[in-house]
Structure formats: C-alpha cells, structure tokens
Amino acid sequence: MKKLLDILTEEVAGAFEKAGYDSSRARVSVSNRPDLCEYQCNGAMALAKVAGKAPFMIAEDVVKCMEDSKIFKDIEVVKPGFINLNVNEEFLASYLLDMGKDDMLGVDKVSSPKNIVIDFGGANVAKPLHVGHLRSAVIGESIKRICRFMGNNVIGDAHLGDWGLQMGLITVELEERKPELPYFDENFEGEYPTEPPFTISELGEIYPCANTKSKEDEDFKEKARKATLEIQNGRRGYRALWKHILNVSLPDLKKNYDNLGVSFDFWGKESDAHEIIPDMVKYLKDGGYTTVSEGALVVEVKEDTDKKEIPPCMILKSNGATLYNTTDLATIVSRMKDNNADHIIYVVDNRQDLYFETVFRCARKTKIVKEDTELTFLGFGTMNGPDGKPFKTRDGGVMRLDNLVNEINEAVYAKIMENRETSSEEAKQTAKVIGLAALKYGDLSNQASKDYVFDINKFISFEGNTGPYILYTIVRIKSILSKYADSLNSSVDNIGLEGYEILSAKSACEKNLEMTLAKFNEVIVNAYEELAPHKICAYIYELSDNFNKFYHETKILSEEDESRKKSYIALINLVKATLEKSIFLLGFEAPDRM
C-alpha cells in the first residue's frame, strides 16, 4: 500500500507536469506551519530560475491543474510561491479503510527479502545477566521483530561467551575447593559424572569469588589463564567440567531472557568457532592477507584515506593463542556458510565501535563476506542512574537484571494496589505486563546510540511519554469496544471493519487522529531502514495522545447517529490494531485491564 506522502506527492507531480514544469521538484512534505496547512510543496521556488518565472506564478499554474483534485480539499498559493495543502477528509477515510483491511496495516513487505543475522546476546556463561545486558537484549529483540515483519528471513543469535577467562577462573577455583573431583586428575580414564558438581546458585557464588581472587593474586590469575587455554585445547577433564557449566547456566539464562520477552533462534557460542579457526587461518595465510607484526599474525586494514589511527586486525597472538577478533571472524565465516547472510547486525556497546570497524574491514579485505553483504555495528549508549553515571545498586555494585525487573514490577504493583480495587494475584500479573512495557519503552524511546537516565518513577508513570501510558490507551479502547459489543449482545471479536465504514472526519481532533494513523506504514519502513525502534515509540506516543484528545472531545458510545457511531468504532478499532502491532514490534504487549 502506498504511503500517504507518496500519494500526495504523485498528485502534485501530475499537476506540475500538466502545467509544463519539471515534476521532480513536486515533493510534498508535512507542513512546518500546521496552523496554516497540513502539507506543503515548495517546488515552485526551486523552478523559478530555470523557468524564468516568478515562483508565485509557477505555483498558481500548478494549483489551477489541481482544481478537480479528490485528494486535496484546500489548495492555496502563498507568497513568494509556497503551495499550502489540506487533505480531503473523504479520501483520508478511504485510505484508512484500505489500511484496516490489510493484515500488514498498509506496510508493504520488502521486494527482495534478505537473510539477516542479528547478534544481540553476548551474555557470558556462568555469570548472571546484569543491567549491562539490558540494552542489547531489548534493542536486538525489537530490531529482530521489525526486520521479520518486513518479510526478511531473520536469525537472532545469542552468541554466548563460553570460551573466555571466566571458564578458567571457575575451573581453578573449583579445583582448590574440591581437588578430589575426577575432572582434575589428568590420569583419570573413566566416565565423568553426569550430574554437575554445583548448582546454579553455587556457580553464581563461585565465579565472583574467583574473579575477586584473580585481581588480588597474580598466581591464581595465571593458573586461570593456563586452565582457559587447556579448555580450548581440549583437556578432557576440563572440557567435561566446561560442559557442566554450560548445562547449568543455559536454563537460567533462558529463563531470564524469557522474563524480558526476548528469544533467540540460535543459541550460538564463542566456542562454536573453535573448529573453524584452523582452516580460516590457513585461508588467510594462503591468500597472502596476513603479515607478522612483533610475532603476532595480523591483517593490515588501515587505508590511505583514514584520518584516524586504525590498528591491524590481530588473528593470532605471538604465542599462537586466539583472540576475540579470531572468533568473531570465524563466526562470520560460519554465518556466511550456514545462513548465506546478506546482512549481519551487531547490537553492542558504543565503546566497541573501533573494534568492529577493524573486524568488518578484515572480513571485507579477505573476502570472507560477499561483496554486497552488509555488516552493521548498531552501537548503544549507557543506561545511567539519576547521578548520570552507569546504573549501579545502592551499595555501588552492578545490579542483576532479574533484580531490576523485580524492582520495577514491585513499583508498578504498589501503584496498581494504591489506585485500583483488584485482587492481589491479578495485580501481580498485570504489574509484570506493565513493568515490562515500562522497562522496554523507557529504553527504546531513546535513540539507541544515546545514553539515558533510568528513572523508575518516570518510567512507570501512567501519564506522559511512557510505556504504561501507551498500554492505558490500548486498554481504554478495549473497554469502549467491549461496552459497544455488549450493547449489541455480541463479542468484541466480531467487531472489525467488516460492515463498518469510516466516514469523513467532522472535527479537527478526529482528522488529526486519522492523519496520524495514516503515517503508520511510513514510520515502520523508516524504523526498519534506519534500525531505529525509537521512531516507533515516538509515533505511538503521538497516536495515543491524539486518540485521547479525540476521546475527551467526542461522545463515542452516546453518539445518536448510528452510522457515525459505527464509524467511530471502526476508527478506534484501527487505532487499537495499530498500537498493538507497534508494541509487538517493540517487544511487549498490553493487558486486558489496568
């Protein structure tokens, strides 16, 4: 379905052409003076010199060719040559009716679907998720849903960290605590126990303890480094212990991601790249892409046009050990082979910008990716506390993500119980839905690359630009539709656009609501092209605001004209569908009651 702006531009372009002028100048835009008009075209100004005519005269010629337009109601020329335009209400109502009959609500899927891999997990195995994991999970989930909605084949990859120093730290700490376990006996040849030697809660205590030791005891840290290398090199007992760590950690990670409404299509791990690395290194050497620098194997990626220092991409350390660069490149090799990736998106911290630039350059220079494969670094800013510094617990530590979720749910629950008469159990379930919306909307409403302040009181407010306000709007519409259905002795499910017609708007607030609704496809396509969920947030806040103004100024259910009442019902039903589709793309849902 064509975007409204495109239809308006085509109408004006036809008039430019009919009047004998260059139609490429006939771009229509939203008016920067909404008090004067809804849309405007400034093309006559640009044509004045070429046409040898005053802009006002050109604009008048164009307007004469639109006298019979069914798309525009009011068309006016304003000196020195602006064309002010207002949309015809009947045309607008017809556009919305078509939108409502389309499962995609007027959004056209991409003509050439892509294979897109989104790397947005990055959690480390054996460590609980903390607030630092929030943004990658929330932003990545929304990007995944938007790309899939547009018709692409999308794979969300958790890409867990299971191959780093934390595994060595846990191994060495466990060996000090329980040296009798068979995993530490290099001469042990039997079968290792199927049950892990620790629970998830014990593992949650072992790692922080080991990590603290490593900062205070260099010998302990060196043992951990050695153990990490032995895990990677396949030491039998250590590998068996490593598998236990994975098996215990994964269910807990999945549970925490589930609580965030985040899911992955592939639970990839750093270790998956291990078997790929030798062949990749051989390919890089044989292709003449590598050089040796201070004993390390590197690929030079600096270009003559660079104005900043770009380090080489290191493939192997001087001792032959691999790095993150190595595993990330090998993972790209895997994604090209297994997924035939057209686009790989990394949702990671802004501070990794330079690192990914070197990896991407290396992947392109060495032809690991196709020429037309897109590699996108979607960096995000920091979630800060009220003091403007990275968010911490009251005692200054890094807050666990499940504690943050619980804290926001409890705050919403207290608010519900304070203002509503409802059972405690229902309030708790509703609080989870609203809390998740508050948390996700609070994050996503900010441009991903920007830092933002986590303000729990602001985020859970039922007024203003917040998730609960959006949900409250949806619930309000549900309530109206339910009452209307009851008056017909029918079900809300039977109230769609079948048999309903949207009439021409008869008030300014009604038309304003319709104009906002009609922008949905434009907003979604723009959010997809720019990988920008915050644009959907801005849109649904505007739509919710305009609906609530319409609601307060319009007697919907008490309207005496039955055809007008049915038109109102069709209109707000479309608002509900649009809001529900939008919040799904953002990664949350609305309750039935609030």
217 assigned to some structural domain: yes
CATH classification at residue 56: 3.30.1360.70
- Tell me which residue range forms the domain holding 55: 4-87
CB 118 within 8 A of CB 343: no
Which of 210, 228, 259 delimits the end of a domain? 259
User: In Å, what is the CA distance from 346 to each residue of 158, 267, 299, 374?
Assistant: 11, 15, 21, 11
Residues 83 and 169 in one domain: no
What is the Cα–Cα distance from 454 to 440, expressed in whole angstroms?
Answer: 11
What domain count does the chain have?
2
442 assigned to some structural domain: no
327 assigned to some structural domain: no
Beta bridge partners, 349, equal 380
Q: Cα–Cα–Cα angle for 337, 343, 344, nearest 5°?
A: 80
Which of 87, 118, 152 delimits the end of a domain? 87
Which of 66, 87, 108 delimits the end of a domain? 87
What is the Cα–Cα distance from 292 to 42, expressed in whole angstroms?
Answer: 59
CB 510 within 8 A of CB 579: no
What is the Cα–Cα distance from 582 to 436, expressed in whole angstroms?
Answer: 15
What does the CA dihedral 259, 265, 271, 272 come to, rounded to 10 degrees?
170
99 assigned to some structural domain: no
User: Quick count: other Cβ atoms within 10 Å of Cβ 456?
Assistant: 18
120 assigned to some structural domain: no
| Residue where the block lists tokens 């159990």 | 425
* pLDDT tens, N- to C-terminus, the chain (594 residues): 999 999 999 999 999 999 999 999 999 999 999 999 999 999 999 999 899 999 999 999 999 999 999 999 999 999 999 999 999 999 999 999 999 999 999 999 999 999 999 999 999 998 889 999 999 999 999 999 999 999 999 999 999 999 989 999 999 999 999 999 999 999 999 999 999 999 999 998 999 999 999 999 999 999 999 999 999 999 999 999 999 999 999 999 999 999 999 999 999 999 999 999 999 999 999 999 999 999 999 999 999 999 999 999 999 999 888 999 999 999 999 999 999 999 999 999 999 999 999 999 999 999 999 999 999 999 999 999 988 888 887 776 788 999 999 999 999 999 999 877 788 999 999 999 999 999 999 999 999 999 999 999 999 999 999 999 999 999 999 999 999 999 999 888 878 767 789 999 999 999 999 999 999 999 999 999 999 999 999 999 999 999 999 999 999 999 999 999 999 999 999 999 999 999 999 999 999 988
225 assigned to some structural domain: yes
What is the Cα–Cα distance from 209 to 277, expressed in whole angstroms?
Answer: 32
321 assigned to some structural domain: no
550 assigned to some structural domain: no
Q: Cα–Cα–Cα angle for 535, 536, 539, nearest 5°?
A: 90
What is the Cα–Cα distance from 337 to 195, expressed in whole angstroms?
Answer: 35
